[in-house]
Structure 1
Amino acid sequence: MPAEQVPVLRWLETASLPLADLEQARVIRLGLDAISVTFKGERAAANTVLRKREVFHHLLELAAEEKVFGVNPLNGVKWTPPEAVDAVDPRTVVNPRQARALLDAAPRVGRTRGARMRAMYACMYYAALRPEEAAGLKRENCELPREGWGLLTLETARPFANKRYTDSGAAHDDRGLKHRADKDTRPVPIPPALVKVLREHIEEFGVAGDGRLFATSKGGFYTNSAISRIWNSVRMQAFTPEQVASSLAATPYDLRHAAVSLWLASGVAPTEVAKRAGHSVEVLQRVYAKVIDGQQELANAKIMSALEE
Structure 2
Amino acid sequence: MEYAVEAGYLDSNPLANIRRSGSRTGDAVDPRVLVNQEQGSQLLTAVSYVGSIHRNRGRRLVGFFAVQLYAALRPAEAVGLREKDCYLPEKGWGTLTLRETRPVVGTKWTDSGLRHDRRGLKSRAANTDRPVPIPPILVAILRTHIAEFGVAKDGRLFANERGGVLGSTSYWRVWQEARPYALPPDKTDSPLAHRPYDLRHTCITNWLNAGVPVAEVSRRAGNSPEVVHRRYAGCIDGHEELNNRRIEQAMGWEGKL
Q: TM-score with structure 1 length normalisation?
A: 0.76
Distance, in Å, in 1 between the alignment partners of 2:164 and 2:199 is 23
Map of 1:274 onto structure 2 = 218
Matches within 5 A, 1:1-309: 60-78=1-19, 85-111=26-52, 112-292=56-236, 295-304=239-248, 307=252, 308=254
Whichever of the two has the greater Rg, that structure is 1
Contact 2:160 2:167 in 1 (8 A): no
Give the counterpart letter for 1:184 in structure 2: T
Tell me whether 127-136 or 109-118 shows the greater mean CA deviation: 109-118
Distance, in Å, in 2 between the alignment partners of 1:258 and 1:171 is 29
RMSD: 1.9
**3-state SS of paired residue (2:193):** coil
Give the counterpart letter for 2:31 in structure 1: P
Q: Alignment length, in residue pairs? A: 250
Distance, in Å, in 2 between the alignment partners of 1:160 and 1:192 is 31
Structure with a larger share of its residues in helix: 1
Distance, in Å, in 1 between the alignment partners of 2:238 and 2:26 is 18
Change (3 A) 1:84 1:101: same
Higher RCO structure (Cα 8 Å, ≥6 apart): 2
Among all aligned residue pairs of Structure 1 and Structure 2, give the percentage whose two residues are the same amino acid: 48
Contact 1:129 1:256 in 2 (8 A): yes
Unaligned runs of 5+ in 2: none
Contact 1:285 1:292 in 2 (8 A): no
Contact 2:218 2:225 in 1 (8 A): yes
Give the counterpart letter for 1:207 in structure 2: V
Unaligned runs of 5+ in 1: 1-59
Contact 2:95 2:131 in 1 (8 A): yes
Contact 2:209 2:237 in 1 (8 A): no
Distance, in Å, in 2 between the alignment partners of 1:304 and 1:151 is 37
Regions of 4+ moved over 3 Å: 76-84, 301-307
Q: TM-score with structure 2 length normalisation?
A: 0.91
